[in-house]
């Protein structure tokens, strides 16, 4: 198991399964390459130089840039507010601010469109994607701020730096790796999202690709556009790696970590709540009121037996996918935390690539894999769980890496110096310390699987429905009353892993209750 120096060669016990996991996440690329080239290189080149492709690229990149920038500002600002100030009810506020992560983008979009039909297009997509994505930056930043050494801030203040200068030049500079990781997840999510742009009628990559696949007339064009999307996903991964650089939070001395002192807001305490209140109103209150109207309109129309069946399928498929993704992420996450060499960075980056592809591309590639190689499990639950794992293992890898990085290396060294074997030392020391972070990653995958739509639509067994497929089926034909019970169940049960994430992050981020 891990040896703590980056100079040592990664053990085969980790490297081989990590390479297999990374290779598995690249399965969709085989399908894309074959489909894109089926009409030859001239077709690919002609499609790439079309003005409509350039316009599509511009619209999609603008959406990614705007949403990611706003999420970084919101996520970092709110994380600083709840971890470094004496704002009222910090713990409760921090948990509440993570709850929008439980909202599927397509559901939030339909709720907003139902309440305000004019909120569509680019700005509607920006609104919805920002509200469901900013918690990704909030969670990673809160955890990172807990590891920032307050002694360095105190030294900066003693040298005459003011509060804002200390925040931007010392505190956030040490947390930039976590901020970059959160921004990467947001950018990849926006790049690959289908539900929000479809509901808002904004022609981004995913909506056009889905239309090309659905029509069946031009799957080669859809594959070419997916490869363009893939290029952007790789560029984002590389940019995040460079932004992360060598930034790592550190502490001066070998003592126990201590919490940073809180900055007193004084007369600004009321004003400081304006932004989080506005965010929660837009993300929870407005959609909640609209959903309540849907439920009142539903009345006795809904079928309890179908509801229970969809709920049961959603829970067990999501739990199975979360366990599979976390198990697959362990070797690569540990490698990324303990062995930062070129091979490890390549494997980690490769695992993020599929996460930037539209879910529909992943689903169709897995359909092809099932028909050609895995026919015994085609249109069965194992193939759906495999597709979930390919799509969401990067979420688990990031959590495993962060959790293992936070575990003190010296404790494992001491255990080995006392005669424990490497595997036992890791299991009894590092794994115990990292377990809450790994569990939080599993909860994140569980939550994301419950909300996933395109993969579930195309791969679920014919006699199995989930809350997401039922919700989409009714909402897409504007039968919101029939969709309401499934939407309510999805929100309630998705809120459980979200609350777990929020409570763990507030504890890890040093957010104390008043």
In a domain, 513, yes or no: no
Q: Are 347 and 22 in contact (CB under 8 A)?
A: yes
Which pLDDT score, from 0 to 100, does residue 6 have?
A: 42
Residue 254, domain member (yes or no): no
Cβ-based burial of 151 (10 A; exposed 0-12, middle 13-18, buried ≥19): middle
Q: What angle do CA 398, 401, 403 make, to 5 degrees?
A: 105
Enter the tokens of residue 447.
């939550």
The closest of 164, 178, 167 to 249, measured between CA atoms, is 178
Task: Give the C-alpha distances (Å, rounded to integers) separating 514 from 87, 88, 93, 501, 511.
Answer: 9, 7, 11, 20, 9
Number of structural domains, the chain? 1
Q: What was the pLDDT predicted at 255?
A: 44
Q: Report the distance separating Cα 446 and Cα 342, nearest Å.
A: 31
The two structure tokens encoding residue 121: 């297009």
Q: Which residues pair with 263 in a beta bridge?
A: 85
SS3 263: strand
Q: pLDDT below 70 — which residues of the chain? A: 1-8, 147-172, 214-218, 240-263, 265, 298-302, 355-356, 411-415, 418-428, 501-502, 504-514
The closest of 332, 334, 329 to 348, measured between CA atoms, is 332
- What tokens were used for 79? 């994380």
> In this predicted model, what pLDDT tens digit does every residue of 125-160 receive, in sequence order?
999 999 999 998 998 888 777 766 665 665 555 555
pTM over 0.85: no
Residue 466 lies in a domain: yes
- Residue 238 falls inside a structural domain: yes
pLDDT recorded at residue 71: 95
Q: Is there a domain that residue 424 lies in? A: yes
Q: How far apart are CA 394 and CA 328, in angstroms?
A: 10
β-partners of residue 85 are: 263
Residue range 183-199, pLDDT digits in tens: 888 988 888 888 888 88
Q: How far apart are CA 362 and CA 27, in angstroms?
A: 9
- Quick one: pLDDT at residue 66? 95
Name the 3-class secondary structure at 477. Answer: coil
In a domain, 259, yes or no: no
Q: Which pLDDT does position 252 carry in this prediction?
A: 45
pLDDT at 480 (0 to 100) = 79
Whether 83 and 193 have beta carbons less than 8 Å apart is answered as no
| Residue 471 · residue 490 · CB < 8 Å | yes
Domain that holds residue 406: 12-249+273-508
In a domain, 1, yes or no: no
Looking at residue 475, what is its pLDDT? Answer: 77
CA–CA dist 372, 369 (Å, integer): 5
CATH code where residue 193 lies: 1.10.3720.10
With respect to residue 201, please indicate whether it lies within any of the assigned structural domains: yes
Handedness of CA 399, 174, 187, 6 (dihedral sign): negative
Where are the alpha helices (H) located in 418-453, listed in sequence order?
A: 422-425, 431-451
- As a 3-state breakdown, the chain gives helix, strand, coil percent values, each rounded to 5, of 80, 0, 20
Given this model, what pLDDT does residue 267 score? 72
Cβ neighbours of residue 310 closer than 8 Å, sequence gap 6 or more = 465, 466, 467, 469, 470, 486, 489
């Amino acid at each position: 198991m891990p040896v703590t120096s980056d100079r040592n060669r990664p053990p085969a016990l980790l490297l081989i399964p990590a390479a297999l996991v990374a290779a598995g996440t690249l399965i969709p690329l085989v399908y894309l390459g074959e489909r894109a080239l089926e009409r030859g290189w001239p077709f690919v080149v002609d499609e790439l130089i079309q003005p409509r492709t350039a316009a599509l690229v511009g619209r999609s990149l603008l959406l990614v840039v705007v949403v990611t920038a706003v999420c970084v500002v919101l996520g970092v600002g709110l994380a600083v507010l709840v971890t470094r100030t004496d704002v009222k009810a910090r713990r409760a506020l921090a948990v509440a601010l993570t709850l929008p992560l439980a909202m599927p983008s397509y559901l939030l979009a339909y709720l907003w469109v139902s309440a305000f039909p004019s909120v569509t297009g680019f700005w509607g997509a920006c609104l919805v994607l920002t509200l469901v994505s900013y918690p990704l930056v909030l969670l990673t930043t809160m955890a990172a701020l807990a590891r920032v050494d307050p002694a360095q801030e105190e030294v900066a203040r003693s040298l005459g730096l003011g509060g804002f200068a200390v925040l931007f030049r010392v505190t956030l500079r040490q947390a930039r790796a976590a901020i970059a990781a959160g921004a990467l997840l947001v950018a990849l999510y926006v790049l690959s999202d289908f539900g929000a742009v479809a509901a808002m009628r904004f022609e981004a990559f995913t909506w056009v690709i889905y239309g090309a696949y659905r029509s069946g007339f031009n799957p080669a064009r859809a594959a070419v556009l997916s490869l363009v999307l893939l290029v952007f996903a790789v560029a984002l991964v590389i940019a995040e790696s460079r932004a992360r650089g060598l930034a790592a939070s550190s502490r001066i001395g070998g003592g126990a970590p201590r919490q940073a002192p809180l900055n007193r807001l004084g007369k600004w305490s009321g004003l400081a709540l304006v932004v989080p209140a506005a965010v929660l109103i837009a993300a929870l209150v407005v959609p909640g009121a609209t959903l309540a109207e849907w439920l009142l309109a539903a009345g006795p129309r809904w079928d309890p037996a179908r509801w229970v069946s969809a709920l049961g399928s959603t829970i067990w498929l999501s739990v199975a996918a979360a366990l599979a993704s976390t198990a697959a992420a362990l070797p690569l996450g540990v490698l990324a935390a303990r062995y930062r060499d070129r091979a490890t960075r390549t494997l980690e980056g490769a695992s993020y690539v599929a996460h930037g592809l539209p879910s529909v591309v992943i689903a169709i590639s897995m359909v092809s894999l099932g028909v050609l190689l895995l026919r015994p499990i085609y249109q069965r639950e194992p193939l759906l769980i495999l597709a979930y794992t390919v799509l969401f293992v990067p979420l688990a890898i990031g959590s495993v890496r962060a959790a293992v990085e936070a575990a003190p290396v010296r404790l494992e060294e001491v255990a080995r110096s006392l005669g424990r074997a490497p595997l036992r030392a890791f299991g009894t020391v590092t794994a115990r310390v990292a377990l809450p972070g790994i569990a939080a990653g599993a909860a994140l995958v569980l939550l994301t699987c419950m909300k996933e739509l395109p993969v579930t639509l195309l791969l679920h067994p014919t006699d199995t429905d989930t809350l997401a497929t039922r919700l989409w089926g009714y909402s897409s034909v504007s039968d919101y009353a029939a969709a309401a019970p499934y939407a309510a169940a999805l929100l309630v049960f998705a809120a459980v892993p979200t609350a777990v994430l929020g409570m763990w992050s507030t504890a890890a981020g040093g957010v104390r209750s008043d």
